[in-house]
């Protein structure tokens, strides 16, 4: 069995933990949501050496301390704003034309 790699203090990581178990969820949430735990994921800097999958304390960019299992080392941003909307792509050039036209009218 291979040894786990310990990441040093100060490594940027993401930790996660369960905040609420299924029986503790609010009664108004949909049944499929109520059937799973509410999970917290937060990014920050390791306060002590830790390996992937180990419990660790981190300091967030806002200075808060959080604990959880290390789920990612140097996590990347994976969010986006979806596919481009063709109608919205034309707004910038159209607005520039309108504004330039109003300058010419002065």
What is the model's pLDDT at position 26? Answer: 93
The Cα–Cα gap between 80 and 43 comes to 18
- Provide the pLDDT for residue 101: 82
Q: Per-residue pLDDT tens for 10-69?
A: 999 999 999 999 999 999 999 999 999 999 999 999 999 999 999 999 999 999 999 999
Which class for 31: exposed (0-12), middle (13-18), buried (19 or more C-beta within 10 A)? exposed
User: Could you tell me the domains of the chain?
Assistant: 1-76 (2.30.30)
Pick from 10, 36, 7, 3: nearest CA to 21: 36
Answer for the pair 42, 93: CB distance below 8 angstroms, yes or no: no
**Under 8 Å between Cβ of 29 and 85:** no
């Amino acid at each position: 069995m291979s040894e786990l790699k310990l990441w040093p203090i100060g490594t940027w990581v993401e930790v996660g933990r369960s905040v609420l178990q299924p029986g503790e969820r609010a009664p108004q949430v949909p049944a499929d949501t109520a059937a799973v735990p509410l999970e917290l994921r937060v990014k920050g800097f390791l306060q002590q050496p830790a390996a992937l999958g180990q419990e660790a304390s981190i300091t967030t960019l806002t200075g808060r301390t959080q604990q959880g299992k290390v789920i990612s080392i140097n996590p990347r941003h994976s969010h986006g704003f979806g596919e481009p909307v063709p109608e919205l792509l034309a707004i910038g050039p159209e607005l520039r034309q309108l504004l330039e036209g109003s300058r010419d009218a002065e």
